[in-house]
Chain A
């Protein structure tokens, strides 16, 4: 059963009940409750493909809370609670969905040290994956979004999850936050791309969330293997440039880009070594999505 099977009344009832809305997102199970009415239609639009889960043990318990009565008219706010605690400052009430998404990122980054977490997008065809590690602002999410509208399966936009036992990449298909002018670029590249509303003046600029494809979510239990390591960098007006990267330099770029490389120590070293060994490694500088996607098609 997926979220789309719930009526609005059912969804609202779950969100406001103690049991909450239990969702499976990749390898994680989360329980969400909320008294913010505005989040309900966004969940119906952007989370409609996600499976409802009857897992008793949940990885994260999230509560999205609106303002107390006296603040509803004076700069209303939204607060995300994680396991009953408030690790974040409240945000403007209009930023409810970004608050939820950032909170989930925080939960994953802090609590999933049983996996190697790369700051990387991952897309796949069959079991062969492109891993796209990049620093913020280098166009990783935008390129990832373009690829999933070009026949690639979304495994991850933010967290490339590597299983220590065998180096497999675990799918974690989530909403993809697209910032500022990249929204227009993507809408031009892929008119069928489905976005949620734009949230203006967030701490990361104006952003809109891209709905992940239902097929990618339905295949969340299908691992992939790293085959190409691509280090993307978007630069306004830059000519397309695809250059091989030496294995050693690729290693360094992956390791310094991981969230928990030092925490995992020798295990992370071995995983990154094996990943580099099994991949062809390139840096990709681009300014136009069609050319970047075409270059990767040629490569793969």
Chain B
């Protein structure tokens, strides 16, 4: 069964500014504030835009397309995203769901 990643749909508070692609979010359940670099913010936005969830392969394709940077090897990006999703899961920001 493929694994789909979803945003946890928690009521996080978000602070973002124009011309600043970094972001800060507040997670009420943990009372923690998290800094997201531009790539982290992009991944979280991509998860939020896919309520039914998204596979790692599709996420990889979406992010690679958005970055449009040929110098990033797909294997490196996959490894980075895998670690990032695991970290999001630890923080309660994303959930992995097995789907039929």
Contacts and interface: CB of A to CB of B under 8 A. Distances in A.
Is the A/B pair a real complex? yes
Interface of A: 246-249, 251-252, 255, 261-262, 265-266, 269-270, 272-273, 276-277
Residue among A249, A255, A266 with the highest chain B CB neighbour number at 10 A = A266
Interface in B24-51: 24, 26, 28, 31, 33, 35
A248 B24 contact: yes
B26 A269 contact: yes
B23 interface: yes
Nearest to B38: A248
A171 to B, nearest CB: 27
B16 to A, nearest CB: 8
Contacts, number: 42
Nearest to B28: A266
Nearest to B14: A273
B73 interface: no
Contacts of A246: 17, 20, 22
A269 B14 CA distance: 9
A262 B30 CA distance: 10
B92 to A, nearest CB: 15
A265 B22 contact: no
Interface residues of B, number: 13
A246 B35 CA distance: 13
A6 B12 CA distance: 54
A273 B15 contact: yes
A262 B24 contact: no
B31 to A, nearest CB: 5
B98 interface: no
B20 A248 contact: yes
Given A246-B22, A248-B35, A269-B13, 14 more contacts: A247-B20, A248-B17, A248-B23, A248-B24, A251-B15, A252-B24, A252-B35, A255-B33, A265-B31, A266-B28, A269-B24, A269-B33, A273-B15, A277-B17
7 contacts: A248-B15, A248-B20, A248-B24, A255-B24, A255-B33, A265-B28, A269-B33
B23 A262 contact: no
A273 B26 CA distance: 11
Contacts of B35: 248, 252
A248 to B, nearest CB: 4
